[in-house]
Structure 1
Amino acid sequence: MSKNRKPEVDAAIKDVDYNKNSYQIELRTNHGAILLDLLPEVAPGHCSNLIGLARIGYYDGVMFHRVINGFMIQGGCPLGTGTGGPGYTIKAEFNATPHVAGVLSMARTNDPNSGGSQFFICLGTHAYLDRQYTAFGRTADAASLEVVRKIGNLPTNSSDKPLQAATIEKATVIARPKA
């Protein structure tokens, strides 16, 4: 099992305050920037987890290891295989957010409470995922969704791994005071 990064994540999110700030994550990839609006009103634990992992540099240099055109792009595995994680899991926060193009959701195994660091961004509408996977963000603008689609159109091998690298060069947390 991977080293447990939970203590680092917990330390990195001590100042997170959803009442005072709205939060975004910018994933700077080798295909362009993806700006994500987080949805703490429906999944605060997942949002805090992503913020913490981003702040400790967990996603820097990690690839989108699974790409299925028309379905989703998946990243967040430090091994690039879909088998790695942060050494801990978080509880599911199923909610009514529909899985439509641009929605950020937590990847998991058959166990609903097995999410950790791997996430996916939808390329289309997938209602069968609703209330089965934790949606906790969405692309903030058309340019970000276009980058997601660009990665989603990459040719892949038989294991859905892109033949051309799709790498998160840097994940940055943006906190903006609420008006």
Structure 2
Amino acid sequence: MKRSFVAAIALIPLLVLAAACGSSNPTTKPSGSSSPTQAASGPCAYPSSDQPAARKDIKTPPATPTTTKPTPVTITTNKGAINVTLEADKAPCTVNSFQSLASQGYFNDTPCHRLTTAGIFVLQCGDPSGTGTGTPGYTFADELIKDDPRVQPCKKVKTATGKQQICTYAAGTVAMANSGPDTNGSQFFLVYKDSPLPNAYTVFGRMDASGLKTVRSIAAAGLANGAQGDGAPKSPVTITSVK
């Protein structure tokens, strides 16, 4: 069963954050500046995934985004509200998918199953199964921006797999987890402290100050079962709604 992930860089070693499709600890490869797959009936394509949907009766998003303007949403959790501005002007197909899933209640009563506290600093959510392998039953292409100012500065870093272009995902960033190029589904991550990562994850939103404070409080509680650096949050985090 594949996992989707976010690669966590700790200078030499390459730590991986999984979330949707991919192996349990795959190595992330930067995918450059991909553009969304084109569809005959609209600019966004959402082909069926080879993984079963984590929740039934989810409709595929429309091929044409309902908005291309920044849009505020609130991710309500049992630990507090996380206010996010979705950047549909920069990642229209990604935001289109996120809004479609949210409107169908896909994220309701789902766990944020992964927290990293070393190398990179993110809370990962969006998998109803809580296993890191859950998908909505479809995938979609990356919406990466070459030399994206939102993930600067970037520099060449020597990792366990060779030199990579590693960028800085600033605290407050909201981005998609994946298992490689163009494998986005429903899993996403919330950056609560500047984190070094390849420009391989579609950035589609930003938390406000209060939302960032909520995620930092979750991280401050630490990891479950004495885990070090990467694991489930010590105090379970559940998304109750996204509106």
Does the pair score TM above 0.5?
yes
- Between the aligned partners of 2:104 and 2:125, the Cα distance in structure 1 is 17
- The superposition leaves residues 5-54 of structure 1 with CA deviations (integer Å, 9 ceiling, x where unpaired) of 7962425x978232xx5412211101110010011222111111111110
Match of 1:167 in 2: 238
The offset of 1:164, in angstroms, is 1.6
Match of 2:114 in 1: 66
Q: Which has the higher contact order (CA 8 A, sep 6+)?
A: 1
Largest Rg, 1 or 2: 2
Instruction: Please list every run of at least 4 consecutive aligned residues from structure 1 whose deviation after the TM superposition is greater than 4 angstroms.
Output: 4-7
The offset of 1:154, in angstroms, is 2.7
- Does residue 149 (structure 1) correspond to residue 216 (structure 2)? The answer is yes
Q: For the Cα contact (< 8 Å) 1:102–1:148, is it kept in 2?
A: no
When residues 63 and 35 of structure 1 are mapped into structure 2, their CA distance, relative to the original with a 3 A threshold, is same
Match of 2:177 in 1: 107
Percent sequence identity over aligned pairs = 31
- Does residue 80 (structure 1) correspond to residue 127 (structure 2)? The answer is no
The offset of 1:133, in angstroms, is 0.9
When residues 39 and 15 of structure 1 are mapped into structure 2, their CA distance, relative to the original with a 3 A threshold, is closer
Deviates more, 1:76-85 or 1:146-155: 146-155
Q: For the Cα contact (< 8 Å) 1:62–1:167, is it kept in 2?
A: yes
- Between the aligned partners of 1:15 and 1:128, the Cα distance in structure 2 is 28
Tell me the TM-score normalised to structure 2 length.
0.63
When residues 37 and 117 of structure 1 are mapped into structure 2, their CA distance, relative to the original with a 3 A threshold, is same
SS of 2:112's partner is strand
- Does residue 24 (structure 1) correspond to residue 24 (structure 2)? The answer is no
- Between the aligned partners of 2:234 and 2:170, the Cα distance in structure 1 is 25
The offset of 1:148, in angstroms, is 1.3
The size of the alignment, in residue pairs, is 166
SS of 1:82's partner is coil
Question: Residue 34 of structure 1: which of 64, 78, 82 is its match?
Answer: 82
- Between the aligned partners of 1:127 and 1:67, the Cα distance in structure 2 is 15
Tell me the TM-score normalised to structure 1 length.
0.84
The offset of 1:79, in angstroms, is 0.6
The offset of 1:168, in angstroms, is 0.4
- Between the aligned partners of 2:240 and 2:176, the Cα distance in structure 1 is 20
SS of 2:114's partner is strand
Tell me which amino acid in the other structure corresponds to 2:71.
Y
> What is the alpha-carbon root mean square deviation over aligned residues?
2.2
Whichever structure has more helix as a proportion of its residues is: 1
Match of 1:138 in 2: 206
